[in-house]
Amino acid sequence: MKKNLFTYKKSGVNIDAADKFVNFIANISSKKRGNKKFNNIGGFGSVSNLPKNIKNPKIVACTDGVGTKIEIANTLNKYDTIGIDLVAMSVNDLIVQGAKPLFFLDYISTNKIDLKKMKSLIKGIIKGCNISQCSLVGGETAEMPDTYEKGKFDIAGFAVGVVNEKKLLNKKKIKKNDLILAIPSNGLHSNGFSLVRHLLKIKKINLRKNLFLKQELIKPTKIYVKEILKLTNKNFLNGCANVTGGGIIDNLKRIIPDKLSAEINLNKIKPLKIFKWLKQNNISNKEMLKTFNCGVGFCIIIDPKNIKKINKYFSKEYKPYVIGKICTGKEKVNLNGYIDWNQ
């Protein structure tokens, strides 16, 4: 009589599929990097060189995910851009301190490995790494039946960068009368999607059939690495803020020194069409500013004398513009005026 043998595969974990996925990642990442010397994907840990041209190097590390934007990808069955979001959320934090991204690792946890879906996701991650001029050096894929519903997954990213200690951006460099400039976002980036999805549900909007929302909600986060590092190398920046969860106010608060305040003129902010659409759906000004970037994806703080020097480093779509300045005050951020949602 043949015994009913228990196997890992029968419990819902397919190691063979995982191995195929690891081999795919190793092959595609080594081709993109063009350097197999330290291709440790599939091993227990990755090995990378520190750049030799950086004096007094300081390591900067960041981690983040993409939140419930994953559910938009699931709804649209489109996974080739969500990986770009994943890289962006970490590397845009690294450059706030002037660090150059060196390498990136991902963590994917899922109910069941779907090779087609996972390959599409990894291609997006590698594209994000290429834009950021860093390498995908490793990661982890966990198949977790019963933890996630059928077809569900989550992703997290980990980025490591390096910066010359003398060029490290911190609060000490920000001073009174510095200007605060907004660098435009390209849309929602990866924040506020729980509210967006709630709105879609309440209004019974079929995302697959709404071309405008379909394009806007899956659009990958803008990566600011190239532009910001050029400004850092030129010593044009006194401070930066990546505008993510918490919006302009909460993220600027994190970098303003004691006894100084960021005075923001909301009238100067140029909201994108997607934010105007959201505002029309009974969302207060306070909630809009707290939840979304409202068209400001990144802020830089500069000496007024450098304002004419920075425009050449940005394309027309992402030209920085002044939204405020640094003053003395007890409040970290003071807001004046209102965003004109009709402009």
Please give the domain boundaries of the chain with CATH numbers for all domains.
Answer: 15-167 (3.30.1330.10), 171-187+222-336 (3.90.650.10)
Mean pLDDT, residues 185-211: 97
Q: What is the mean pLDDT of residues 2-28?
A: 57
Tokens 């992402």 belong to residue: 318
333 strand-pairing partners: 262
The predicted model gives 103-108 an average pLDDT of 94
Looking at residues 186-210, what average pLDDT do you find?
97
Is a pLDDT exceeding 80 seen at residue 6?
no
Closest CA to 231 of 316, 311, 317: 311
- Indicate yes or no: pTM above 0.85: yes
pLDDT one-digit tens code per residue, 264-298:
999 999 999 999 999 999 999 999 999 999 999 99
pLDDT of residue 36 exceeding 70, the answer is no
Structure confidence by residue, pLDDT tens digits, 125-158: 999 999 999 999 888 888 888 888 998 999 999 9
DSSP structure string for 11-35: TT--HHHHHHHHHHHHHHHHHHHT-
Give the pLDDT band of residue 318 (cuts 50, 70, 90).
very high
The pLDDT-based confidence of 7 (bands split at 50, 70, 90) is very low
Give the Cα separation of 293 and 287 in Å (integer).
Answer: 11
pLDDT for res 46: 73
Segment among 41-45, 91-95, 194-198, 250-254 with least mean pLDDT: 41-45
Tell me the one-letter amino acid at 217: L
Q: How confident is the model at residue 33 (pLDDT cuts 50, 70, 90)?
A: very low
* Position 83 confidence tier, pLDDT thresholds 50, 70, 90: very high
pLDDT value at 231 more than 80: yes
Confidence of residue 9 (pLDDT cuts 50, 70, 90): low
Under 8 Å CB-to-CB from 315, ≥6 apart: which residues? none
Give the chain's mean pLDDT.
Answer: 89
pLDDT grade for 35, boundaries at 50, 70 and 90 = very low
Residue with tokens 């198949």: 143
Arithmetic mean of pLDDT, 43-64 = 84
Phi, psi of 5 (to 5 degrees): -75, 140
Average pLDDT over residues 214-218: 98
Q: Rounded to whole angstroms, how far apart are CA atoms 83 and 156? A: 10
> What pLDDT was estimated at residue 50?
80
Q: What is the pLDDT of residue 48?
A: 76
Range with top average pLDDT, 13-17, 24-28, 291-295: 291-295
- 32 vs 170 pLDDT, higher one: 170
